[in-house]
């Protein structure tokens, strides 16, 4: 469910810029996704070129593997109670800096990391900016397998259309790093996502949703300007 209009050059630009927010001595949450690959690569370069010492706390197996491959020291998020900063991508960002995450099936761990951080920063290219959440992206809902049918009915009762996320080049559904399954739920335009989020969290069998309200303090946006690539910084009011 990734946005195919995203520009790799813009992703790299914003990922490299965001890596400068990680300072020597920090413990940093490192998110998941294509934009984060560029951030991880830049952090590895800074460790080698500048000698900075950091500890990364990856939100997924994929990010952990890349960090270890490139020589970034990592810690398990279950062993960390707080973070100096957490940086992650997003699938949609609205004008209030609320976001939808979960295109990479890691939103539960990403939300824990965001909540642990003194500062949670989202990095995106401009294709991810929307006026209202749910415009282009369904709401990921991580679900216990035992609650699959019950949660599916609950989503429908809330006006949503749930689709079980299926694997690519793998038979069967996507299985998260937590061993759970995922629904991608589309709701009608104008839906009250805060109310929906609250009701989903009260539904037995729901592990977590991809709706991130009131967590991002700052969003870095890579844009294609008249003079080339530009960086916009959006700050929560």
How far apart CA 164 and CA 59 sit, in angstroms, is 22
Residues recognised as catalytic: 110
How far apart CA 50 and CA 29 sit, in angstroms, is 20
How far apart CA 27 and CA 57 sit, in angstroms, is 7
How far apart CA 173 and CA 181 sit, in angstroms, is 7
- Per-residue tokens: 27: 């413990």
- List the strands of the sheet with 181-186, edge to edge: 161-164, 181-186, 139-143, 206-209
How far apart CA 77 and CA 80 sit, in angstroms, is 5
């Amino acid at each position: 469910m990734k946005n195919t209009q995203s520009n790799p050059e813009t992703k790299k630009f914003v990922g490299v810029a965001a890596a400068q927010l990680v300072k020597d001595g920090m413990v940093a949450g490192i998110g998941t996704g294509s934009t984060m690959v560029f951030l991880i690569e830049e952090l590895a370069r800074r460790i080698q070129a500048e000698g900075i010492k950091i500890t990364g706390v990856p939100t997924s197996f994929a990010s952990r593997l890349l960090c270890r491959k490139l020589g970034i020291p990592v810690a398990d998020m279950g062993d960390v109670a707080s973070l100096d900063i957490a940086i992650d991508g997003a699938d949609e960002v609205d004008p209030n800096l609320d976001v939808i995450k979960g295109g990479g099936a890691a939103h539960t761990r990403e939300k824990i990391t965001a909540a642990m951080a003194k500062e949670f920063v989202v990095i995106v290219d401009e294709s991810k900016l929307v006026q209202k959440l749910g415009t282009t992206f369904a709401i990921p809902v991580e679900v216990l397998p035992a609650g699959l049918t019950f949660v599916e009915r609950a989503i429908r009762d809330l006006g949503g259309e749930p689709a079980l996320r299926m694997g690519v080049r793998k038979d069967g559904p996507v299985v998260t790093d937590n061993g759970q399954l995922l629904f991608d739920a589309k709701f009608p335009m104008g839906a009250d996502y805060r109310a929906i989020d609250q009701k989903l969290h009260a539904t037995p069998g729901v592990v977590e949703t991809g709706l991130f309200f009131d967590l991002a303090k700052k969003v870095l946006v890579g844009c294609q300007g008249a003079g080339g690539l530009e960086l916009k910084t959006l700050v929560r009011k």
